[in-house]
């Protein structure tokens, strides 16, 4: 659902839906989260942040990666 909303450029709804899913203690797969962030970066043309996000995730710097995503939204 979140990915569909991002593709439709309904970013506020996508973010609200993702927040709701995370608040319910459900942990989406890494692939699902990565797809959402990738699509958001591509649509908003923020490729530098995508590279930064991927680097932070690869380095297991989760909190820093979350901050990058929040800055994009």
- Contact in structure between 32 and 65 (CB atoms under 8 Å): no
Of 70, 73, 55, 64, nearest to 6 by C-alpha is 73
Query: CA–CA separation, 45 vs 42, rounded Å?
Result: 5
Q: 0.85 exceeded by the pTM? A: no
Query: CA–CA separation, 60 vs 25, rounded Å?
Result: 21
Q: Which domain holds residue 40?
A: 2-72
pLDDT digits (tens, 9 = 90+) for 29-65: 777 777 777 777 777 777 777 788 888 888 888 888 8
The pLDDT value given to residue 37: 75
Please give the tally of structural domains in the chain: 1
Q: Is 70 exceeded by the pLDDT of residue 18?
A: yes
The more confident residue out of 25 and 73 is 25
Sign of CA dihedral 27, 31, 32, 33: positive
């Amino acid at each position: 659902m979140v990915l569909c909303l991002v593709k439709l450029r309904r970013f506020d709804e996508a973010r609200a839906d993702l927040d709701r899913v995370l608040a319910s203690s459900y942990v989406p797969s890494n692939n699902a989260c990565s797809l959402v962030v990738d699509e958001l970066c591509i649509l908003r043309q923020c490729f530098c942040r995508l590279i930064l996000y991927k680097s932070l995730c690869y380095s297991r710097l989760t909190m820093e990666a979350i901050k990058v995503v929040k800055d994009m939204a």
